Amino acid sequence: MARDLGGVLILLVPVLLFVWRTGAGGLDVDQFLSRSILEFSSSSAATPQRTWKANGSRNSLPMVGDEDGMEEILRLARRPEAVEWVKGVRRRIHEHPELAYEEVETGRLIMAELEGMSLGYRFPLATTGIVASIGTGEPPFVALRADMDALPIQEAVEWKFKSKVPGKMHACGHDAHVAMLVGAAKILKAREHLLKGTVKLLFQPAEEAGIGAKRMIEDGALKGVEAIFALHVSHELPTSVIGSKAGPLLAGCGFFKAEIRGSEGPAGNMHYSVDPILAASAAVVSLQNIVSREANPLDSQVVSVSTVNGGSNLDSVPESVTLGGTFRAFSNTSFYKLRQRIKEVIITQASVYRCTASVHFFENEGFYPPMVNNEIMYEHVKKVAISLLGPKNYRVVSPLMGAEDFSFYSEIIPAAFYYIGVRNESLGSIHSAHSPYFMIDEDSLPVGAAVHAAIAERYLSEFGEIIVNSKKASARAIGSIKRKANEYLDG
C-alpha cells in the first residue's frame, strides 16, 4: 500500500507544481493571501481618523462621519435605559454567584435575556454553557466569549447587591463579563441587518476550575468559527481603558502533586528505614534548579513548590511524603519541558535516596496552555478600541504569570484576549481579582458591551470577505488539482 501511495504522489508532484506556478483557475493561494492582506492593510490605513479626549468623550473638532458604525454602537451602549439594564443584569448575577458547572440560575437569566431579544441559542454545552447566534446564520463566524463561574470566597464588600450566597462570590468579575456580553447581544441585535456573517456568543462555565473552555470546544462551540475574542476586567487599568499586547499575554499554568514513598522506621535508628523526608527535601532543592540552570533567562518560567506534607511523630520517619506546587511558562515548548523535567527530577531524586515516587499533573482539572494573542487579531482589537474610545483609552500591557482557559480557544483558531479597566479609586475598586474586597466600577459595563460588539461587527466586515474568498479560492484550487491529477493519470 505504501508503495502505491508513493507512486500516486510521484505522479501528482509535477501536477501540483504546474498548478501552483501557473495559478490555474485563479489558484495561487500564496499570491491570493498576500494580495488580500495587502488590500486589508491599505484599507486599514484609509480608516477615517478621529480626534479624541480622555475617557472616550468626543471633542469638539470636526468628525468624519460614522461609516464604521462606532458612533452608533457607543450611542446604543450609553443610552440611559441600556446602562441601567446592563448594570441590573450584572447585579442579579452578582447576588447569586454559582461555582464551576453549577451556573444554572446564571444560565436561566442569560437565556431569558436572549429570548427577550428573539435570539436563537444552543443549550447545554459543557453542562451549563450556552452558545447564541446573531446575524445572517451564514459564514463567516466570529465568536465572543464570557465566563460565568464564581469563586468559593466570602464577599467582604458591604454594598446593596452583595452576594446572597455565603462563601461564594463573583471575585473575578465574571458577572461583569456575562453582563457585557449580554449587552453586546442587544447592540448587535439592533445592528443585525449590517452584519456580514454571524456572531456567536459563548457563555462558558468553569473558567476558574474545571477547564470549561476545553469542554465547550469538545461540545462543538467553535464549529465553523474563524476567530474568537474575549475580555477580562482589570483593577490595574482605569475605568473603561482597554489594554492588551501581541503574542504571549498570560502564562501556561499547570499543577503537580508527587508522592515519595520510603519505609517507616525509628528516627533514632535510620538504617532500619528508607527516609522519604530526605528524598523530598532533595527533590524540592533540585526542582529550583530547573528554571535557574536549565531555562533561557529571557524566557520567563516558574516552578514553585507550595506544599510539603509528611509525618507527625517526632521519633519516627513516615512511610511517605507528598509535595506539590505549580509551574508556569509563556510558550508550549517551555511549558511541556517543565512538566517533563518536574517528573524526571522528582522520580530520579527519590531513587537516589532509595525511595519511589509518582507525579500527578491534574490535566483534566487545571492545566492551561499559554495564552498567546494572534498578531492580526490583536491589531484588530487595538484598532477597534482606539477607533471607539480614542488612543488615550488604549494601553499596551505587560504579560502576567496568571492563566486563563481562553488559551484553549487560542490554541485552535486566531484569538485575542484583552482587558477592560474597572479601577476607580473614589469608589474603592482597587483590589485585585480573587480578593474578598474585589469590586468593579460599573461604568465599564456599557463600554465593554460596545467594545465586544464593535470588534465582532468590524471583524465580519473587514475579514469576512477575505475569508469567504480564500475559502472559495481553496475550493477552486482543490478542484483544479483534482482535475489536473485525473487528466494526468488518465493521459
Q: How far apart are CA 317 and CA 405, in angstroms?
A: 41
For residue 433, give Cα distances in angstroms to 70, 103, 161, 166: 30, 19, 18, 18
In the complex with Zn ion, which residue's Cβ is closer, 99 or 453?
99
Task: With CA atoms as reference, report the closest residue to 179 among 378, 422, 384.
Answer: 422
Sign for the pseudo-dihedral over CA of 17, 19, 22, 26: negative
User: Which residue's CB is nearer to Zn ion, number 172 or number 371?
Assistant: 172
Q: How far is the CB of 67 from Zn ion (least distance, A)?
A: 35
Report the residue number, 201 or 466, with the smaller CB distance to Zn ion: 201
Query: For Zn ion, which is the closer residue by CB, 142 or 253?
Result: 253
Strands 415-423 and 225-238 turn out to be parallel
Considering the complex, state which of residue 89 and residue 169 has its C-beta at the smaller distance from Zn ion: 169
Judge whether 47 and 387 are in contact, CB under 8 Å. yes
d(CA 451, CA 1): 55
Q: Are 457 and 194 in contact (CB under 8 A)?
A: yes
The smaller minimum CB distance to Zn ion, of residues 149 and 259, is found at 149
Residues 6 or more apart in contact with residue 192 via CB below 8 angstroms = 134, 135
Closest distance to Zn ion from the beta carbon of 478 (Å) = 42
Contacts of 150 (CB under 8 A, 6+ apart): 97, 98, 99, 163, 168, 169, 170, 171, 172, 174, 175, 208
State how far the Cα of 185 lies from the Cα of 133, in Å rounded to an integer.
Answer: 9
Interhelix angle 174-190/104-116, rounded to 10 degrees, is 10
Which grid cell sits at 452?
A: 465586544
Residue with the shortest CB distance to Zn ion? 172
Identify which of residues 178 and 303 has a Cβ nearer to Zn ion in the complex. 178
Q: Which is nearer to Zn ion, 172 or 195 (CB)?
A: 172
Contact indicator for 67, 50 with CB cutoff of 8 Å: no
DSSP E strand stretches across 246-388: 247-250, 252-261, 265-266, 301-309, 316-317, 320-329, 356-360, 371-373
Q: Which residues bind Zn ion (CB under 5 A)?
A: 172
Q: Smaller CB distance to Zn ion: residue 201 or 357?
A: 201
